[in-house]
Chain A
Amino acid sequence: MTTTTSPAGAKSNSPIPAPSGRLHRMAAPLAPHATAARVAGGVLTIIGTYLPWATFVLNEGRYPEQATLQFFTVPFGVTGFRLHLLIFGIAAIVLALVRVPGRGRILRGVGWGVVAVSILNGLYITVEGGGLGAITAAGGAVAFGAIVALLGGVLIVLGATAGGIERRPEWRWRLNPWAERGALVVAYLLLLFLVAAVLTAGGTGGAANPYSGAVFLSFLGALGGLLAALSASGLLNWVAALAERHRVFSVVVLLVVALALPLTAAGNEYWMTVAANIGVYAATAIGLNIVVGLAGLLDLGYVAFLGIGAFTAANLSGAAAAKFDVHLPFALVMVISAIVAGLFGAVVGSPTLRVRGDYLAIVTLAFGEIFVRTAQNNIFGLTGGSNAIPGIPQVELFGTRFSDRIVVGGIQLPAGVLYYVLIVLLVALVMLVFSHLKESRLGRAWIAIREDEDAARAMGIRTGPIKIMAFLCGATLAGFAGAFFAHKTGTVSYESFRFLESVTLLAAVILGGMGTVPGAVLGASLLFVLPEKLREFADYRLLLFGLALVFIMRFRPQGLVPDRHRRAELAHDPADEPPPGGTPATRTEVPA
């Protein structure tokens, strides 16, 4: 029943040949003592976890001001990052002593998690005035918590590397189909709780909660370690293979799980609003992904289509400042907005007949700037200029305003939950459209054009109309999102559609991975959740963002979720990144 192609023993598992890189060279002297190093790292991590508590509380001293970061008001009561460190430490010791397939790789993930958590907390304590890594000299008491834990993490990483990083084990468990579906449901429920935990980690930032950024980042660090370990254990690939086998089922479950978010800890008005905004940008990013990711046409003025959709909806919504005195039903407004945006998309796309590559990028940038300028000048009285178009009415259905709180089956749901449901359905629809387009004849033509336009033309693809179709489809999706945006926010101003927004959308697509659906959603979520959570860095948001673009292009141009077709071309380390599951036949077996 349970078979694995990967040899189970760690010793028999030959490490990847010719280990190179600085890390390997640093770890080499440790090779004879790999297990000892791993255990020592785990122990140090646990000691680091308890050190500040031991220093201050055992000495019956007052706990220092940074207590909010330390979570030690209750002896042994570990929550937050101390809990994560404790778990990582124990896991490291257990893994060092027990043979598990791929354990070197798992340990490396755990180690990096410890490093990330302890660096982040150490830095915060240092910057917030607690002294270097919680060395609080006040009263003579000294605690090296963060530094000890950091040492532990480094030791785990080095020990894991020295002991040899095995190939990622590949699980080929095949269970009863219903059991497999059950496993999928469990996996998705875990995902839901993970998402809710990420959203609520650290609480809402602001003056009342100065450590929310620290707690959130630390949580992300721990999460990164956990995901790295899970991925190293091969379980993530197994779940992915399951999802592939039960595709329709998993899509339905995923949708239900997404709709269940309001029932979790993240179910309050604030997060419903943030999630709705993320949804708008995710839908727009998927539209942009058609143009950039599939057809390979760089569009630097794409947010204009979101704007055109939003202004169209605003003018048809019955708002007092609207140009037309009509109030159409929301569904109709959405369709009209999408069509108008799509038409503009075809217009903007028409230069693609003559212009290619980065010249095309500049043409789209020029269109985007023209849109912003004309909207700013309230052209034909359609955009309200600097007054914007305020007072767009809320969407109503059967007499219920979408901004109201509602009660379903005795459960009080937060305000804005209907908008959340609507945007989830909208994003699901957009994803469906995207994935069908991608697999269609049209989508394959786009990809062919992206790879080599001349060759595509030689193969009989009529490149001109097909490129315009890419702009048209992408703009239509953005128009849909724009109509939603107008009603949700209630005010549409040209300020929301500046060049920087286009760059942000582009960054979302690139960060997530060009040409993939989860990539665009993940990218949009990251780029809009992070600023929400890290308010204390608000001044540096754009700076980090610009640097992030540079670093992504430098180190991971394929994005976080690379496209399968592209993965082969762009993956940097073929030994480290085997092709995704489903092609076991081509895998070389590791000699025992």
Chain B
Amino acid sequence: MLSTFLSQIVNGLILGSLIGLIALGYTMVYGIIQLINFAHGEIFMVGAYGGLAMFTYLLPTFVQQQWYLALPLLLIAGAAISTGVAVLMERFAYRPLRGAPRLAPLITALGVSVALQELVRNFYPGATAALPFPKVFVAGTWEIPVPGGTVPLRWTGLLIIVLSLVLAAVLTTFVNNTRMGRAMRAVSQDPDTARLMGVDTDRVIVLTFALGAALAGVGGVMYGTDLGFINIDMGFQNGIFAFTAAVLGGIGNLKGAVVGGIVIGLVKALGGQYLPGGTAYDYVWIFVVLIAVLVFRPQGFFGESERVRA
């Protein structure tokens, strides 16, 4: 009984930290240009396919077999592809619309999201079905003994939790303590004043997209490594979850995104186990949480309530 509960907690933490990693991209972009970057989920998906392409077409066999060589290379490839796509997307889809009515960029983001999914589906070999992803990290599980049984923790799951938290910490440090991070915060508070103070806002916005995308790309590769397969739908669903997490934590708030992600992960795991309907309805519970949060506490856990949103 206890072991079931703790297993679900572990599952929730794994999924949750992954979602938190994606949510960081949402929250940064929203914080800086108030855009729900709908296509961010697809950036995560593209990262996974980038990692897979690296493994399949570029890595020699002896590197493929050594996880300490293969995994970092895959993560870098995923991050690089995601960043490239995100920068292009910002340049050609979003930048021309800066200053347009609010709904225009959101609809553009929908279009980009559909287009990216279809690009991968049509042009990545075999992507019309789910593709097997190499389990490059140490296989197997750590059976943690608890009273009345054991709690299995996959090594890949542990990797996801640790790496996500480390990356989130690095990002927070970057935003809080560097010159560029200060520029990002300035643009998010007031882009016009920031420009007057000599901040190159276009560069800051590109950097924001790039950072978020790099994290999503890393997330995509880890997701594939953990599950053993990837498909083109993975971006949409996890993207929605990540957006929910970003709102839950208070959009624009980095710590909030991670906490929100973990809450979402726990809701899904525990809801699927204990709420009526079982796993068939676990998605429904996440959306119920999303609606409830948006309606009753739109500023989230850590958001500033005075910020005007319309």
* A374: interface (CB < 8 Å): yes
**What A residues does B124 contact at CB under 8 A?**
none
By the criterion CB–CB under 8 Å, are B310 and A356 in contact? yes
Task: Indicate with 1 or 0, residue by residue over B104-118, a CB within 8 angstroms of chain A CB atoms.
Answer: 111110111111111
By the criterion CB–CB under 8 Å, are B115 and A298 in contact? no
Contacts A366-B291, A377-B277, A540-B118 known; 13 new A-B pairs at CB < 8 A: A296-B103, A355-B298, A359-B294, A362-B247, A366-B288, A500-B114, A543-B122, A546-B112, A546-B114, A550-B93, A550-B112, A553-B104, A557-B101
By the criterion CB–CB under 8 Å, are A510 and B294 in contact? no
A514 closest partner in B (C-beta): B103
> What secondary structure prevails in chain A residues at the interface with B?
helix
Task: Indicate with 1 or 0, residue by residue over A349-390, a CB within 8 angstroms of chain B CB atoms.
Answer: 001001111110111011101100110110000000000000
A357-B310, A358-B102, A369-B287 known; A542 and B118 CB under 8 Å? Answer: yes
**What A residues does B115 contact at CB under 8 A?**
543, 546-547, 550
By the criterion CB–CB under 8 Å, are A359 and B309 in contact? yes
Min CB distance, B310 to chain A, in Å?
Answer: 5
**What B residues does A453 contact at CB under 8 A?**
310
**What A residues does B97 contact at CB under 8 A?**
553-554
**What B residues does A358 contact at CB under 8 A?**
36, 102-103, 106
* A503: interface (CB < 8 Å): yes
Task: Indicate with 1 or 0, residue by residue over B197-212, a CB within 8 angstroms of chain A CB atoms.
Answer: 0000000000000000
* B227: interface (CB < 8 Å): no
A298-B103, A540-B118 known; A373 and B284 CB under 8 Å? Answer: yes
By the criterion CB–CB under 8 Å, are B114 and A542 in contact? yes
Query: Complex: how many Å from CA A543 to CA B290?
Result: 29
By the criterion CB–CB under 8 Å, are B122 and A539 in contact? yes
Min CB distance, A568 to chain B, in Å?
Answer: 14
Min CB distance, A108 to chain B, in Å?
Answer: 25
A510-B107, A550-B108 known; A355 and B36 CB under 8 Å? Answer: no
Within 8 A of B (CB), among A312-347: none
**What B residues does A543 contact at CB under 8 A?**
114-115, 118-119, 122
By the criterion CB–CB under 8 Å, are B118 and A356 in contact? no
Q: What are 21 sample pairs from A and B whose C-beta atoms fall under 8 A apart?
A: A351-B295, A354-B295, A359-B294, A361-B103, A363-B291, A363-B295, A366-B291, A373-B284, A374-B284, A376-B280, A499-B236, A540-B118, A542-B118, A545-B114, A547-B111, A549-B108, A550-B108, A550-B111, A550-B112, A550-B115, A553-B97
**What A residues does B117 contact at CB under 8 A?**
542, 546
Task: Indicate with 1 or 0, residue by residue over B206-227, a CB within 8 angstroms of chain A CB atoms.
Answer: 0000000000000000000000
Chain B interface residues (CB < 8 Å from chain A): 36, 93, 96-97, 100-108, 110-119, 122, 236, 240, 243, 247, 277, 280-281, 283-284, 287-288, 290-291, 294-296, 298, 309-310
Give which listed residue, A351, A373, A554, contacts B294 with CB less than 8 A: A351
By the criterion CB–CB under 8 Å, are A370 and B122 in contact? no
Give which listed residue, B111, B243, B298, contacts A548 with CB less than 8 A: B111
* A506: interface (CB < 8 Å): yes
**What A residues does B247 contact at CB under 8 A?**
359, 362
Give which listed residue, A300, A363, A365, A540, contacts B122 with CB less than 8 A: A540
Query: Complex: how many Å from CA A548 to CA B287?
Result: 29
Query: Complex: how many Å from CA A543 to CA B118?
Result: 5
Within 8 A of B (CB), among A37-57: none
Min CB distance, A382 to chain B, in Å?
Answer: 15
Query: Complex: how many Å from CA A373 to CA B278?
Result: 13
A351-B294, A373-B284, A500-B114 known; A362 and B36 CB under 8 Å? Answer: yes
**What B residues does A545 contact at CB under 8 A?**
111, 114
A367 closest partner in B (C-beta): B291
Query: Complex: how many Å from CA A588 to CA B44?
Result: 54
Min CB distance, B9 to chain A, in Å?
Answer: 24
By the criterion CB–CB under 8 Å, are A557 and B93 in contact? no
Interface centre among B93, B100, B118, B119 (most CB of A within 10 A): B118
By the criterion CB–CB under 8 Å, are B280 and A377 in contact? yes
A362-B243, A363-B295, A366-B287 known; A546 and B111 CB under 8 Å? Answer: yes
**What B residues does A553 contact at CB under 8 A?**
97, 100, 104-105, 107-108, 111
A555 closest partner in B (C-beta): B96
By the criterion CB–CB under 8 Å, are A359 and B107 in contact? no
Min CB distance, A497 to chain B, in Å?
Answer: 15
Query: Complex: how many Å from CA A557 to CA B105?
Result: 11
Give which listed residue, A356, A362, A374, A557, contacts B290 with CB less than 8 A: A362
Query: Complex: how many Å from CA A540 to CA B120?
Result: 11
**What A residues does B295 contact at CB under 8 A?**
351, 354-355, 363
**What A residues does B102 contact at CB under 8 A?**
357-358
Give which listed residue, A356, A357, A363, A365, contacts B240 with CB less than 8 A: A365
B35 closest partner in A (C-beta): A358
By the criterion CB–CB under 8 Å, are B298 and A503 in contact? no
**Among all A-B residue pairs, the 7 with the closest Cβ atoms:** A549-B111, A546-B115, A546-B114, A543-B118, A366-B287, A550-B111, A553-B108
Min CB distance, A377 to chain B, in Å?
Answer: 5
A546-B112, A553-B97 known; A362 and B294 CB under 8 Å? Answer: yes
B114 closest partner in A (C-beta): A546
**What A residues does B100 contact at CB under 8 A?**
553, 557
Query: Complex: how many Å from CA A540 to CA B114?
Result: 11
A546-B113, A550-B111 known; A298 and B283 CB under 8 Å? Answer: no
Query: Complex: how many Å from CA A28 to CA B101?
Result: 36
A569 closest partner in B (C-beta): B101
**What B residues does A359 contact at CB under 8 A?**
247, 294, 298, 309
**What A residues does B101 contact at CB under 8 A?**
557
Give which listed residue, A351, A356, A499, A550, contacts B291 with CB less than 8 A: A351
Min CB distance, A218 to chain B, in Å?
Answer: 24
Query: Complex: how many Å from CA A503 to CA B287?
Result: 18
Query: Complex: how many Å from CA A557 to CA B290?
Result: 30
Min CB distance, A498 to chain B, in Å?
Answer: 11
Min CB distance, A372 to chain B, in Å?
Answer: 9
Give which listed residue, B107, B283, B284, B288, contacts A549 with CB less than 8 A: B107
Give which listed residue, A298, A367, A548, contacts B106 with CB less than 8 A: A298
By the criterion CB–CB under 8 Å, are A503 and B110 in contact? yes
By the criterion CB–CB under 8 Å, are B110 and A549 in contact? yes
**What A residues does B96 contact at CB under 8 A?**
554
Min CB distance, A293 to chain B, in Å?
Answer: 11
A369-B283, A546-B118 known; A354 and B298 CB under 8 Å? Answer: yes
Min CB distance, A541 to chain B, in Å?
Answer: 8
Query: Complex: how many Å from CA A357 to CA B104?
Result: 12
By the criterion CB–CB under 8 Å, are B309 and A357 in contact? yes
Interface centre among A365, A370, A540, A550 (most CB of B within 10 A): A550
Query: Complex: how many Å from CA A554 to CA B118?
Result: 20
**What B residues does A377 contact at CB under 8 A?**
277, 280-281
**What A residues does B103 contact at CB under 8 A?**
296, 298, 358, 361
Query: Complex: how many Å from CA A540 to CA B103?
Result: 26
Query: Complex: how many Å from CA A376 to CA B281?
Result: 10
Min CB distance, A534 to chain B, in Å?
Answer: 15
By the criterion CB–CB under 8 Å, are B106 and A361 in contact? yes
**What B residues does A550 contact at CB under 8 A?**
93, 108, 111-112, 115
A554 closest partner in B (C-beta): B96
Min CB distance, A96 to chain B, in Å?
Answer: 37
By the criterion CB–CB under 8 Å, are B291 and A503 in contact? no
**What B residues does A356 contact at CB under 8 A?**
309-310
Min CB distance, B90 to chain A, in Å?
Answer: 13
Query: Complex: how many Å from CA A373 to CA B296?
Result: 23
**What A residues does B287 contact at CB under 8 A?**
366-367, 369-370, 373
Interface centre among B104, B107, B277 (most CB of A within 10 A): B107
Query: Complex: how many Å from CA A553 to CA B104?
Result: 6
